Structure 1
Amino acid sequence: MDNPKILITFALCFCLLVLASASSSSNYVGNENNNYPPLKNRKIISPNHHSTHKLLTKESYVVIFDAGSTGSRVHVYRFNQQLDLLHIGNDLELFVKTKPGLSAYAEDPEAAAESLVPLLEEAENVVPQELHPKTPLKVGATAGLRQLKGDASERILEAVREMLNNRSTLKVEADAVTVLSGNQEGAYQWVTINYLLGNLGKHYSKTVAVVDLGGGSVQMAYAVSEEDAANAPNAPEGVESYITQMYLKGIKYYLYVHSYLRYGLLAARAEVLKVSQSSENPCILAGFDGYYTYGGVEYKAQGSESGASFSKCRNAVRKALKVNETCDYESCTFGGIWSGGGGAGENNFFVASFFYEVADEAGFVDPDAASAKVRPSDFAKAAKIACETEYKDAKSTFPRFKDADTPYMCLDLVYQYTLLVDGFGIKPSEEITLVKQIMYEDSLVEAAWPLGSAIEAVSSLPKFEKLMYFI
């Protein structure tokens, strides 16, 4: 055995025999106290295997564009496989916005598409390059585009599709750019708020009701019992079904959802101005004489010499809301629309978007707070002061109101009070939550429908269980 080659060969054979013996005597890897599964039941992959990154990537990004009536926004979310939000830098989402909205480009679809490019670039910068091809991108247009005449809406959507196909490296499916139905918008908003509050997966009675006041439309959504859903009336012709079924974190929910087009705050101003029988409107501040433009149409907005009137403005708003419209059901909201019947899912109201903005302008919530507990009567109290204020004194009385909103501050506050009380049947003294952001773990997240849309999008990815879907 003096030959070195023979010695090396012998040593190698001995090592192989020892390794084979160790492998056959134990099916476990690690020390005697571990509980790892047997080797024969585990998939062993070389560190250089091309699938290693897939195994290590336990997260997914989603990019959602909210093309609203007042502006466009992009939200980027990052989820783990349990559908929990993960940080993107210091925050739990990227949120960037721009003005005006797509509907402002009705005559120039290409300019509409170009307005989204800066938002797209921001979104693509935070998504890891290697995940771009697997990251869903969706564009949801809301009431602003729903109200455009002719083919203007579709021309804008087509221009956006073409821009994304040419410029984006993210995953853009054929149906990625759409006008959301009112029910989709309402359902997604309900999902967003209840997700951030940690209510999904719980009994429907533990969820909250949501009213979302946009610029062009207002949505109401809350969960009802299976029995109440089964007894829901058929919606009138041309109206979306009152009940939407959703499967969320192991629970089937029955949502009452309805969207009221033309009753978002900006659209409602036009509706209220239209019902006035004279050039002077009881909702416009004394001393203002001008025009309000919405949807390309001008409406005379002139204050009365005697001043605006809370009670007369309230009558005008009730008329615009069609509160006394014939109701074919046991209970209605306004315009003859079924209310959903109430129940445990409607016991706790979260109201969002313009509700918070107007309350901020009126000065009865902290502008730096993410949410606030208020009562509808707070809107009425502020409205009475606003309606007694002359236009020339408005900025000193309500310094937070934007210049463009100042002539309509009586109208806006009366409208929101009347919508909550006469429209949705909330008692003036009932406590509700105004919300613009919700604390999730250690960060604030926008309380907006895109998160609900993102949850649906990520749930449809192959590596995720079907944690959410519409039925």
Structure 2
Amino acid sequence: RMLTRTPSVVAQVFLLLSIVLVIAIAVIQINQQQILSPGLKYGIVLDAGSSRTTVYVYEWPAEKENDTGVVSQTFKCNVKGPGISSYESNPGALAKPFDDCLNKVKERIPVNLHKNTSVYLGATAGMRLLRLQNETAANEVLASIQNYFRAQPFEFRGAQIITGPEEGVYGWITANYLMGNFLERNLWRTWVHPYGKETVGALDLGGASTQISFIPEDSQENFNSTLQVKLYGYSYNVYTHSFQCYGRDEAEKRLLALLLQ
């Protein structure tokens, strides 16, 4: 009897060992995936316009596509109150309006990633005008912002006044990125450069300035007003021009002044 039962016992033992081995391999693969998986990265951008400040949270896979991240916006919050240039006489009052949005941002980003999440603030035409009128006041506003963000758990990368051409190029990148002119998924769900797709121009009407940006037919002819950007392995020569004081709010001020004459 023992001899007749031995083959079945051996078969059962081998079956059990096989199941254990399969489970072990699966667990090891899952653990390796968790260790090797690049996960998500987060970034916070504050768009400090002339009339208001908006906070954006972006996320992207740590693995980049040709040295550029595939970014998606996950959260947006409008800071209460006017633009930061309006605090020229009381820079210390800037902190409180930021608190509400920053507290919401902290909830959106995993706590363990706070210290590795970069924060950038870019101020546009409102601050460019203030710097022209009162450079000391503009520096005090930026210093107040820097002090506030250095006390936050995120990696603060600075608050700066961007130039008109920089603002124009950023608007051009945003418009074309959202239209899928830089990248698209193919049938195999991998990211590729769209075949035969052309970029579009961008006209950005802000509060204190207006920017126009596009790729000219002859970039050499407009060399002094052309900026080169590299995205997903491709280079673009973008013509951009900023019209200071030709934004919506500044145009309204000039119209009111004209009517009062």
Q: TM-score range by the shorter chain?
A: 0.7 to 0.9
- Answer yes or no: is the 8 Å Cα contact 1:67–1:101 preserved in 2: yes
Equivalent residue for 1:196, pick from 178, 188, 208: 178
State the SS of the aligned residue for 1:220: strand
State the SS of the aligned residue for 2:155: coil
Distance 1:243 1:117, change over 3 A: same
In the TM superposition, what is the alpha-carbon distance from 1:258 to its structure 2 partner? 0.8
2:142 is the alignment partner of 1:160: no
Q: Aligned letter for 1:223?
A: I
How many residues are paired up? 216
What does residue 84 of structure 1 align with? 70
Following TM superposition, the consecutive aligned residue runs of length 4 or more in structure 1 with deviations greater than 4 angstroms are 44-47, 201-205
2:166 is the alignment partner of 1:172: no
- Answer yes or no: is the 8 Å Cα contact 2:181–2:197 preserved in 1: no
What does residue 221 of structure 2 align with? 231
In the TM superposition, what is the alpha-carbon distance from 1:270 to its structure 2 partner? 2.4
State the SS of the aligned residue for 2:51: coil
State the SS of the aligned residue for 1:263: coil
Structure 1 residues 169-198: Cα deviation after superposition (integer angstroms, max 9, x where no partner): 11113xx21111111111111111111110
Distance 1:233 1:198, change over 3 A: closer
Distance 1:142 1:204, change over 3 A: farther
State the SS of the aligned residue for 1:215: coil
Separation in 1, partners of 2:92, 2:29: 49
**Equivalent residue runs for 1:310-459 within 5 Å:** none
State the SS of the aligned residue for 1:156: helix
2:229 is the alignment partner of 1:246: yes
What does residue 214 of structure 2 align with? 222
Instruction: Give the strand-richer structure, 1 or 2.
Output: 2
State the SS of the aligned residue for 2:107: helix
- Answer yes or no: is the 8 Å Cα contact 2:222–2:239 preserved in 1: no
Q: Aligned letter for 1:65?
A: L
TM-score by length of 1: 0.43
Identity %: 29
Q: Aligned letter for 1:61?
A: Y
State the SS of the aligned residue for 1:107: coil
What does residue 147 of structure 1 align with? 129
State the SS of the aligned residue for 2:207: coil
In the TM superposition, what is the alpha-carbon distance from 1:273 to its structure 2 partner? 4.4
Structure 2 alignment gaps of length 5 or more: 1-24, 183-192
What does residue 246 of structure 2 align with? 263
TM-score by length of 2: 0.75
Distance 1:205 1:197, change over 3 A: closer
Cα RMSD (Å): 2.5
In the TM superposition, what is the alpha-carbon distance from 1:205 to its structure 2 partner? 6.7
In the TM superposition, what is the alpha-carbon distance from 1:203 to its structure 2 partner? 7.7
Distance 1:223 1:231, change over 3 A: same
What does residue 188 of structure 2 align with? none
Q: Aligned letter for 1:63?
A: I
- Answer yes or no: is the 8 Å Cα contact 1:262–1:271 preserved in 2: no
Distance 1:107 1:243, change over 3 A: same
What does residue 133 of structure 1 align with? 115
Larger radius of gyration: 1
2:205 is the alignment partner of 1:213: yes
